[in-house]
Amino acid sequence: MLKVTYTSTGLCLEYRHEPLDTLLADRVRLHTRSGLPLIVQPTSASIPLPATLPGLRSLSRCGEVQVSACDRGWVEVSIAGTWLATDIDQETGVFMTELRPGVERQLFTLWKQAQTMAQHSAWAVF
């Protein structure tokens, strides 16, 4: 399972071993007990990655993600899943998805490579 946390300063991708249903149930239970609102809705999310990353071509052929060119030198990896936030119009929140384990690992590895590249260059960390 992949968990993408969107914040006001960027995003963080996590590879989790728990099933999506378990994490969703835990999150709903937490919000219910704390009295906080929670919006849960199916949607898609996009993860920006440098177009120069090795392995993007094979990821685009897997059928579970869509890889599209966006800004110069960047691609956008789109995946379907579930969005969780405390407000319907909120831009910060958590996105969760379950893909085939090999696809999840490959996407997570590509994202980690992008983070390493960011630490050694001038572009912003996502």
**pLDDT score at 124:** 52
Query: Would you tell me how many other CB atoms lie within 10 Å of the CB of residue 126?
Result: 17
pLDDT digits (tens, 9 = 90+) for 87-112: 888 889 999 999 999 999 999 999 99
Q: 40 near 24, Cβ under 8 Å?
A: yes
pLDDT digits (tens, 9 = 90+) for 12-58: 999 999 999 999 999 999 999 999 999 999 999 999 999 999 889 88
Q: 61 near 51, Cβ under 8 Å?
A: no
Residue 112 has φ and ψ, to the nearest 5°, of -65, -40
Q: What is the rounded CA–CA span in Å between residue 24 and residue 21?
A: 5
